Structure 1
Amino acid sequence: MKIVVIGGTGLIGSKLVNKLRQLGHEVTPASPASGVNTITGEGLTDVMKGTDVVVDLANSPSFEDKAVLEFFETSGRNLFAAETRAGVKHHVALSIVGTERLDNGYFRAKLAQERLIKQSGIPYSIVHSTQFFEFLGTIAAAGTVGDEIHLSTGAFQPIASDDVAAAVADVTVGAPLNGIIEIAGPERGRLVDFVKRYLAKKGDPHKVVADVHATYFGSELNDQSIVPGENPRLGKIDFETWFSSQLQKA
């Protein structure tokens, strides 16, 4: 198959491109650097020629409410226009577990993206992923208040980016789901505890405070907010294995 990966040079995209090429597919990583811009429409018509599957991993450069919504709506409309002209048979998108439950700007924008996908008329698959292990440091930074880090006690089930790429690869080469699949890591706990483990291993001296009212990028969490429902696809890489792999790469 010919597969175009929008955002194919990013964290998940680069791993996905390698996996799909190993499976023998013709894969084009597309990004503004390669002359493909989903916001302006530049390069979309050419890159879509003869394409069977499009995987959308693009992300907004700004997380400001209005900007992120405009990004996903504009990008989606331009993508679907080009895909429709080219006769693309399957659109795959990576989204987030909990888009329909959390009321913050980024989640609202992802939900708008999902609505466009469902309305496009193109067979589709949406992969809802939990947060990546790779962003534990970002979560800690966002919760920093002076010399302390205040973090939610809500349930959390992070996943390694390698497991995300593997799941997206499987969905990409399969038949369109015309629905949503959820993926998550193999361990569930409290958000505060995962980040505390991460910071302890990094030797970070900050005091970590468990705070039921601490927000997660603007939203308070409960034990259902950002964890999957029944029967998600679980990754194979647990926290200890993932952290050890990061040390080996350093």
Structure 2
Amino acid sequence: MTARPTPSHEPTGPSSRPRWRGVPVVPLALSALLVLFLVLPVQALLLRGLSAQFFPTLLRPVVLDTLRISLLTTGCTMLLTVLLGTPVAWLLARYDFPGKTVLDTLLDLPIVLPPVVAGVGLLLAFGRSGLLGAPLELAGISVAFSPAAVVMAQLFVAAPFYLRTAKAGFMAVDRDVEDAARTDGADRWTVFRFITWPLAAAFLLEGLVLTWARALGEFGATILFAGSLQGKTRTITLAIYSALESDLAPALVLSAVMVLVAFTVLAVVRRLGSAHTWR
């Protein structure tokens, strides 16, 4: 008897996906239109911004002031986000309490609110005529239209990105590992410092990167609550808007910088996402 050949099976997974040879024409054409629409403006920005005048324009005092303010304010925003947001994310991930769903929704609300609405809300809360304006004025503190207002506007719109990602990171930590450490005599802070924090670190870093990118690109809430004062509250996005009315060169250079920063941030986030996906 001759042995019957074993039936061959089609491979499963990414290698079994159809090759380009059989791609339908209509989806391919529609995809090409969308890709061109999304890529062409970015390409135009890079072509105009990364010219021979890129570095001379980048070194102008006005542009350097803008970069300095943006880096300082976003740095403060990230620090406050970690200090204030990490405990909130940990509590939301680990404990159930009355009103948790409502609180979770309120903390996510700035993500979907228009930035202009956020700016109006900050003015009504912390401006001179706001809810806390009079007590702050009595204490000699003027918040609106100051560098502190820039940080507050960035924190309001950007911190929820960290909260969401950090909460997911803390929820992903294996509770059995923490319980084993407590059984061995570790206190709550030791467990958090040496077990919970390191295991959730990829999520936390991803959230922090997203927070920084959102804070760097903030415009609407900042211009309403902090204004656009050169050398004081004018960030990169405000400088781009202002330069469009007078000198186009700084606007082009700063726009190119923002494109490069955004691409880098997305690459880092994707890398971090892959890291904790394959863990």
The normalised TM-score by structure 1 is: 0.23
Higher helix share: 2
- Structure ID, larger Rg: 2
Higher strand share: 1
Query: Which has the bigger relative contact order, CA under 8 A and spacing at least 6?
Result: 2
